[in-house]
Amino acid sequence: MVARRFSAMVWIALVCIGLLSVSAMLIALAQSPLIVFPLVLIFGALIFGYRALDRARDLARYQHQVVILKQIAQIASAGLEPRALLARVLDTLLETTHAAAGRAWLLETDAMQNIVQRGLFPETFAEPATLAPENAHAQRIDLAARAWDAVRAKGFVEVIRAPLVASDRVIGALDLAARHRGELDRPALDLLTALGATLGPVIENTRAQHRARARQTQIENLYKAGIAVSSQLDLGQVLTLVTERARALVNADAGALCLWDEQSRWLVVGSQSGARDALEIQDAPARRIAQRISLRRVDAEHRDDTCITCTLVRAPFRDTHLQAPLRLGDQVIGCLCVSSARARVFSDGDVELVSGLAAQAAIAIENARAFNRAGNSAIAQERERLAREMHDTLAQILGFVSTKSQATRELLERGRIEMARQQMDQLTQLAQELYADVREVILGLRVAIAPEKSFLVTLEQYVQQYARQCDIDARLIIADDARDVTFAPAVELQLIRIVQESLANVRKHADARRAVVRLARVDGRVEIRIEDDGRGFDPAHIARGEWPQFGLQSMRERAESVGGAFQITSQPNLGTHIIVQIPVGYLGGH
C-alpha cells in the first residue's frame, strides 16, 4: 500500500515538474532559445530515472515471489500430509506478504472442509462456493455478501481466493485476508494463482499415496485376520476370533456373529465382542429372513429403508450399524455385524473389510463344522473299537477261565490236589490282571467322555487317578508356554489314547516305579513325552513279554492320523520315552 502511494506521489510530482518545465521552456524560449535544450535533457532524465526505479521495484517483487515459491517448493517436497503442508504454506504466506489472516480448504466427501486457519476464528470465513477448474486464477471476493459479515466485523477489508486444481478438478482453496486496501495487490493474486497450480497436484499425489498405503494396510489386516480365522478348527474359537477381528478392523465398539438355528428359522448369536450392552439377551433370536440378508450400511450418511432392523441390536448402536452375510455359494449361513455407539461413517474400505472377513469366516466356520463332524465320527468309531476290544478280550478270557475251571474240576476228581492248586493260582493271577485291565479301560472311558473339561484338566485327572490306581509315582509336567493349548476333539481323543496306552504298557511291562508325562512347545509343535524309569528294551528286537509291537504300531497310527509324529527311544535298564509331536495347525485354539 505504501509503495502504491509513493508511486502515485512520484507521478504527481513528475506532472508538476513537467508543467513547470514547459512553462520555463516557453519563458526561456522567449528570452533565449539556447536554454531550452538543457531543460529538455533534465526532464527526460527524470522520466528515465523513474522508469528505471519502477522496473527495479518490479524486479524486486518478482525476486521476492521467486523466493516465496522456492520456500513453498521445499515445503511441498518434504512429503507432509495435506493438513501439515497447508499449515506450513499459510505460515509462509503470512510471513512474506501483507496478509493478516488465511484459511485452507480441502474437498472431503463432496464438500469443502476447512482444515487450517490462521489469524481468524474458525467460523469467520464462509465456505467456498463451487469453484470451476477452468477458472484457476486467484480472485478478489466481494465482501458485501452477508456470508462475509463475520470477516468485516473482524476489521478485514480485502479477501482473495485461489482454487487448488489437480487433473482439471478443484480439490481445495486458499484464502488470504488483509486489513488495509491495496495490501493484496496484483502480485499477491499472481502468487496465489501460482501456488494453487503447484500445490494441487502435490496434495492429490500425497492423497493418492495415503490411499494406496491405507489400502495396502487394509489388505494386510484382512489377510492376517483371514489367516488367524482359517487356522482355527474349533467352532467356538472361530466365532470368537471373527467378531474380535471384525471389530478391530473397522474400529467399531461392538461386533456380533449370528448363525442359523438347527431349523434354519432364526439367527442366533454365536459370539459377541466389545460393548456388552450392544445386544439384547443373547438367548433371544434375531428375527430375520434368509433371502433378505445382504450387505447393509446404516450410519450418519447412509440410510437404507429396506434394511431389516435386527431386534438384538440396541439403540444407539442400531443407528451406526454394518452387517454382511456369511455365504457359502448361494446359501446364507449367518450374518456378521459391527456397530458403534457414537455417530460415525463407515467408509467403502470398512465395507470391503467386513464383507471380505465375512466371506473368509463362512469358509472357516464350515471347515470347523466339518472337522467337528469328523471328530465326533472318530469318537464314535473309537467307542465302537473299544467295545469290540472289550468284547473280544472278555470272551477270550472267559473261555480261558472256563477251560481252567474244567481242568481244575477234573484234577480234583482225580485227587491231584497240588496240580489243582496251581490251576487255581493261575486263575487268581488272571483275575487280578483282568481286574486291572478293566479298571484301566473304565478309567480311559471316563476321561474320553468328558467334553466339558479342557484337555489339560482331563489329562491331569487321568494321570492322578492312574497313579492312585496302579501304585506308580506318575506326574504331569506342563511347560509355561504350553498351558494355553487346546485341541480339536479328534486330536484330543487320539492324544489321550496314546497317553493311556503308554501308561498301561508301563504298568504291564516296564516294572517301573516312576512315570512322567511332559507337555511343551518345541519348534512350532506341541510335544507330549511319556517317560518311565523301568527296565526298558531294544526297540529293534522286542522279546516276548516286553512292550507289545501291536500297541506301539497303534500309537504310531493314532499320532499320524492327526498329522503328528511318533517316536520311541528305549534301552535295557534305562527306561522308555514315548514322544508325540503335533503341528500347531492342528490345535483348536491356536
List pLDDT tens digits, range 518-529.
999 988 889 999
Q: Are strands 514-522 and 473-478 parallel, antiparallel or unpaired?
A: parallel
Angle at 254 between CA 252 and CA 259, to 5 degrees: 120
Amino acid at the residue 358 = A
Question: Where residue 479 falls among pLDDT bands split at 50, 70, 90?
Answer: very high
In CATH, the architecture of 253-334+342-372 is: 2-Layer Sandwich (3.30)
What does the block give as the cell for 166? 489437480
Report yes or no: 268 and 261 within 8 Å, Cβ to Cβ: yes
DSSP letter (8 states) at residue 314 = P
Q: What pLDDT was estimated at residue 2? A: 44
Give the range among 105-114, 321-330, 443-452 with minimum mean pLDDT: 443-452
Dihedral pair phi/psi, residue 140, rounded to 5°? -85, 145
Residue scoring higher pLDDT (282 or 340): 340
- pLDDT for res 449: 46
Say how far apart CA 93 and CA 101 lie, in whole Å: 9
555 or 140, greater pLDDT: 555
Q: Where are the alpha helices (DSSP H) in 77-185?
A: 82-96, 149-153
* C-alpha grid cell, residue 274: 466389545
56 vs 284, which has greater pLDDT? 56
224: pLDDT strictly greater than 50: yes
What's the average model confidence in pLDDT over 222-238? 77
**351: exposed, middle or buried (Cβ count in 10 Å: 0-12, 13-18, 19+):** middle
* 8 Å CB contact between 250 and 353: yes
Give the mean pLDDT of 563-589.
81
Predicted structure pTM score: 0.48
- Per residue in 281-313, pLDDT tens? 544 444 443 334 455 555 555 555 444 456 677
CA distance 163 to 131: 7
**CA 578, CA 502: separation in Å to the nearest integer?**
7
Residue 554 has pLDDT above 50, yes or no: yes
**Per-residue model confidence (pLDDT) at position 434:** 64
Give the CATH fold of the 450-590 domain.
Heat Shock Protein 90 (3.30.565)
Segments of 359-442 assigned E as strands = none
90-138: per-residue pLDDT in tens? Answer: 888 787 777 888 888 888 766 777 778 887 655 555 555 555 555 667 7
The pLDDT tens digits for 141-198 are 777 777 677 777 778 888 888 888 888 888 888 888 888 887 887 777 887 788 778 8
For the domain made up of 78-211, the CATH class stated in words is alpha beta
Phi–psi pair at 484, nearest 5 degrees: -110, 10
More confidently predicted of 488 and 497: 497
Indicate the average pLDDT of the chain: 74
Per DSSP, helices labelled H in 250-307 are none
Q: Distance (Å, rounded) from C-alpha 131 to C-alpha 129?
A: 6
Per residue in 98-116, is it b (16+ CB within 10 Å) or e — as a string?
Answer: bbbbbbbbbbeeeebebbb
**Which of the given ranges, 249-253, 488-492, 541-545, has the highest pLDDT on average?**
249-253
Distance of CA 194 to the CA centre of its chain: 42
Q: What CA–CA distance (Å, rounded) separates 477 from 464?
A: 12
- Regarding predicted confidence, which is higher, 73 or 49? 73
Judged against a pLDDT cut of 50, whether residue 268 lies above it is answered with yes
Span of 24-28, 360-364, 414-418, 468-472 with lowest mean pLDDT: 24-28
